[in-house]
Amino acid sequence: MQVRDLFPDRRWVRLVALGFGLLLIAAVAVGGGTYAHLDGNIRSDDVPARALHADRAVRPKSMAPGAQNILLLGSDLEAVRDSQRSDVTILLHLSADRRRAALVSVPRDLMVQIPRCRKPDGGTSRAQFAQFNWAFQFGGAACAIRTFEELTGVRVDHHLIIDFTGFRKVVDAMGGVQVDVPQKVKVPGDKLVLRPGKQHLNGHQALILVRGRSGVGDGSDLQRIERQKVFLRDLLAGARSGGVLEDTTRLFPVLNALTRSLTADPGLDSLRELYGLVNSAAGIPQNRTSIVTIPSVEDPDRWGRYKPVKRQAKALFKALREDKPLPTRLYNAYDPANDEL
């Protein structure tokens, strides 16, 4: 089974770029005061920038000048009061000529080597072998970036964090989203039950859909990743077809919720810089967009955890480092005839 076959509609990256770009253009159109307000909502992530600069000697070098690698992190601080983990991690790779794009999802439960990291409070965390999403808890965005770089050898140029409280508010500000729910969703600790089929979801329901794992399908993180992709497609399609982009009275609450949920590194912490990013991605042809997940298989020594399918993961990481088209076939299921663990 090919990873990209799980989500055959490759318009997803294009919809992300066009949808966000239209939102930013509209923000300018509604007036300077509104633009300044929205621009001021975006939080600048200065601490990770300093930590990454201090660790510059051990970080990988960029092998493809002009290519851009942006790590997108979904934070679950809302659910974990005493800590913070990255429930969603996606690398957005834009080729140097801006003719190709790739979105690469990292399973949160992928077992990886987390390096010794500088912590936001000034201390340091110890190096350890643990699941990927713990890196954010140990040392914030800088540690998640360092962990991703050590796993892949890919230099991360920028990062964006969106918190799940903001995600819920964006959906509610849009008036909800029409979604084709692929399977029954009933997670422990919540009375909500979502039945399969097309239905209108509010922010809380949407959050359960994209975050639910235990009690949903096979309970795997890989299956949850695919639900997230489908939901984002429906979210953007709803924004474009529902008239939100053309109605400034409806648009402002969406923009306000979106920008208030964003934390960005100093190179992406303004509407102008974000618009420059999405504008450069908007022209990438549909047939040159790849959407994949790091090839992974369940770790037989650790229940519910994953490990990379070595040969295929190495081929994927090499293509990203060298800014080349991704391998044509990637598997999430181990096939001894095609690969080795």
Class of domain 44-322 as given by CATH: alpha beta
pLDDT for residue 10: 46
pTM for the whole structure: 0.83
- What's the CA dihedral at 103, 287, 4, 273 to 10 degrees? 10
User: Contact 303/116 with Cβ under 8 angstroms?
Assistant: no
- List, in order, residues 6 or more apart from 200 with CB less than 8 Å away: 176, 177, 178, 179
CA dihedral sign of residues 245, 204, 86, 224: negative
Comparing C-alpha atoms, which of 75, 243, 230 is closest to residue 167?
Answer: 75
Alpha helices in the chain (DSSP H): 12-29, 32-41, 46-54, 134-152, 164-173, 203-211, 221-241, 248-260, 271-282, 310-321
Instruction: Compute the distance between CA of residue 290 and CA of residue 325 in angstroms, rounded to an integer.
Output: 9
Q: What is the pLDDT along the chain (341 residues), one digit of tens a residue?
A: 333 333 344 444 455 555 555 555 565 665 667 778 888 999 999 999 999 999 999 999 999 999 999 999 987 654 444 455 667 899 999 999 999 988 898 998 999 999 999 888 888 999 999 999 999 999 999 999 999 999 999 999 999 998 877 888 889 988 999 988 888 888 777 788 888 889 999 999 988 888 776 656 666 777 777 787 778 778 877 776 766 766 767 778 888 888 888 899 999 999 888 878 877 777 787 678 888 889 998 898 888 899 999 999 999 999 999 999 998 776 543 343 444 44
Phi, psi of 277 (to 5 degrees): -65, -55
- What's the CA dihedral at 149, 84, 232, 201 to 10 degrees? 170
Domain residue extents for the chain: 44-322
In 3-state terms, what secondary structure has residue 197? strand
Return the DSSP state at 116: P
Return the DSSP state at 270: S
- What's the CA dihedral at 225, 12, 203, 21 to 10 degrees? 140
